[in-house]
Structure 1
Amino acid sequence: MSIPLRAIHYFVEAARAQSFSVASQRLHVSQSAVSHQIKGLEDFLGHPLFVRRGRDILLTALGEQYLQQVAPAIDTISHASIDMKQQKSRQLKLALHGSLAVKWLIPALDDFRLRYPNIDLSLQMLTQDGRFDTQFADCFITTQPPRTGFTQYHLYDERLKPYCAKPLWSEAQQLREPHLLTQFPLLSAASVFSSNQPGEDWRRWFAAVQQPLPPHTKIHHFSHVLLAVEAAKYGQGIALLNEFMTSTAERADSLYELPLHSIRTDDSFYFVYPNRAAKRIGLEALGKWLVALCKERSL
């Protein structure tokens, strides 16, 4: 008896998407091809797997049971095939947040390419941290490392320090009391802490030395730290930034650290990849290089 593996694959995709149309797009086939394969599978099994209501589809109880049994096997076959295909590949896809790539990694890539000329490293923009789709990328930089099934390298624990442009720095560097900074505008990035309170980054910075954020402080708000970086470079105020977000060139030319305290955020950064890909060319080298890069910059 020949098992209809293609039909089972199509069934799993359709069940997960709850749509023949979406499944056809993922599989790069026509919708009628998906429908035909699933009808053949239902005939083969002798049971309906879906209840069809116009364009909507719902799994039957037996369909749900079948999905739970066959989906892991399809995933195993898929992962094994991808891993086998990539064993000798020298191309690595690294997924990370765009801001991290632009401000920290890209300026350092020449060093990696000089050290490992045979590894073709490409960058993918990560839009959702904590989602590790190995068909999208081979490895990831994340603040939410998986608990199991992945090798991880700790890169650094995020700290925020006050930075500003040179004209402001020339005045502010003499100040030793945090509350005196509020004579200048403060730049706040909402993306740093998960809080609905505006100015949460500065509120925590003052709280670290048992001081409240002074009332009537002038704060300019930005949705993302990248925007706060640019505003600081143009002398619009003082921003709390981590060294990931301030490139070496920027710290030399346009952003200056004030000699005041820093604070830890809730985030630590990790480089991770699936355990099953451990033999993949370049993964270990990339992980060690990233760790060394962080140590070199005292992160």
Structure 2
Amino acid sequence: MKLPPLNALPVFEAVARLNSFSRAGEELNVSQSAVSHQIKGLEHYLGEKLFERNGRYLALTEEGKIYLEGITSALLQIERVSGQVLGREESQLRLSVFSSFAVRWLVPRLPDLQRNHPGLELVVEMTSESPVLSDRVADCFITLNSQLKAFSYDVLYHESLFPVCSRQFWQTLSRDLNLNDDPSAGDSAVSADQLAAYPLLSTHSIFGRHAGDWEAWYGAVGQSIPSSARVQHFSHMLLALEAARFHQGISLTNDYMLSNRSDAGDFVRVPCHAFETGDTFYFAYKSSRRAEPGIRTLRRWLISEAIRSGLREEVSPG
């Protein structure tokens, strides 16, 4: 087995993470010159430059980025396995997750996770878009991306969007349209044309364009948004849903946003059609780490909760 100079690997990881030779030296309690010596030795062994230096500016080369990806994963694995041998029962995992999924579905359920699995310390990292699948970002992910072959994926939810409004707003709408004030009644259906007479709260982030969500919703029944429609734009689904809560109009949302929340009763699902966005939410983790107790615990809990809350209709995980 031909290995690189092992002492240099934590030094390389620290320099790359801190983007500084001096800060890496402070963290490792060695001099800056010792850090520089270790990096030069590693570059000499690899025959590649790992950093570009321009005065005070320091950046990883492309080779350095590739090397960092593998080294970070390997060092973390050594740390975890060593902890298991030392008999440490606790496990810390970093989970990267969409902000809306975290706020509306995950966080309210964390007390159950902590109560049933006190040895698992979960660090939640929120992101506004699908996270980069990398050990440098997190240990596991809730993501729309299922393309990387090094990862394993478990389906949590196939997204469907449907219109909601506040209970007060529904009372106004049903009175205007002479509908049964019980939205679940068979005679309470609202047509797409009727809905356009009321403010439509749009979430830009779903399709990345103004009114993209409502365009898709109307398109699902072969229509375009009526030119008379009043569309109010929000950057995020959380904002549009809050506007709906405060009686400002009708928002498109999905199941996890209203799943078993104490405030779900504040909203009425308007009796109209729903449509599939084509997005699937996955729990993702490195396949090489599937046997780790922490990942196995979190995987089983997430899938069980997805089933229990109605997001996923499948048998419980093995």
TM over 0.5: yes
| Map 1:170-249 → 2, pairs under 5 A | 170=171, 171-172=173-174, 173=183, 174-194=188-208, 196=209, 198-248=210-260, 249=262
SS at match of 1:191: helix
1:178 maps to amino acid: A
SS at match of 1:5: coil
CA drift of 1:187 comes to: 0.2
SS at match of 2:293: coil
Structure-2 change in CA distance of 1:144 and 1:51 (3 Å): closer
Alpha-carbon contact 2:169-2:249 (below 8 Å) kept: yes
CA drift of 1:265 comes to: 1.3
Aligned to 1:250: 263
Aligned to 1:286: 298
Structure-2 change in CA distance of 1:21 and 1:164 (3 Å): closer
Structure-2 change in CA distance of 1:36 and 1:268 (3 Å): same
Structure-2 change in CA distance of 1:41 and 1:292 (3 Å): closer
Alpha-carbon contact 2:89-2:119 (below 8 Å) kept: no
1:213 maps to amino acid: I
Alpha-carbon contact 2:199-2:249 (below 8 Å) kept: yes
SS at match of 2:207: coil
Cα distance in 2 for partners of 1:70, 1:109 equals 35
CA drift of 1:69 comes to: 10
1:72-95 deviation line (CA, Å, top 9, x unaligned): 874564243133145444334222
| Map 1:259-274 → 2, pairs under 5 A | 259-274=271-286
Alpha-carbon contact 2:105-2:256 (below 8 Å) kept: yes
CA drift of 1:126 comes to: 3.4
1:129 maps to amino acid: S
1:194-228 deviation line (CA, Å, top 9, x unaligned): 3x3x1110111011011111012111100111100
CA drift of 1:145 comes to: 2.8
Alpha-carbon contact 2:96-2:131 (below 8 Å) kept: no
Provide TM-score, normalisation by structure 2: 0.75
Cα distance in 2 for partners of 1:107, 1:68 equals 37
Cα distance in 2 for partners of 1:69, 1:104 equals 35
Match of 1:83 among 62, 80, 83: 80
2:231 maps to amino acid: I
Alpha-carbon contact 1:185-1:220 (below 8 Å) kept: yes
Structure-2 change in CA distance of 1:3 and 1:228 (3 Å): closer
Aligned to 2:178: none
Cα distance in 2 for partners of 1:117, 1:203 equals 45
- Structure 1 range deviating more: 110-119 or 261-270: 110-119
Percentage identity across paired residues of the two chains: 34
SS at match of 1:192: helix
Cα distance in 2 for partners of 1:109, 1:58 equals 38
Aligned to 1:158: 159
RMSD: 3.5
1:22 maps to amino acid: S
Aligned to 2:168: 167
CA drift of 1:11 comes to: 5.5
SS at match of 1:80: helix
1:227 maps to amino acid: L
1:11-35 deviation line (CA, Å, top 9, x unaligned): 6776x78xx9535546735654432
Cα distance in 2 for partners of 1:177, 1:270 equals 33
Alpha-carbon contact 1:95-1:139 (below 8 Å) kept: yes
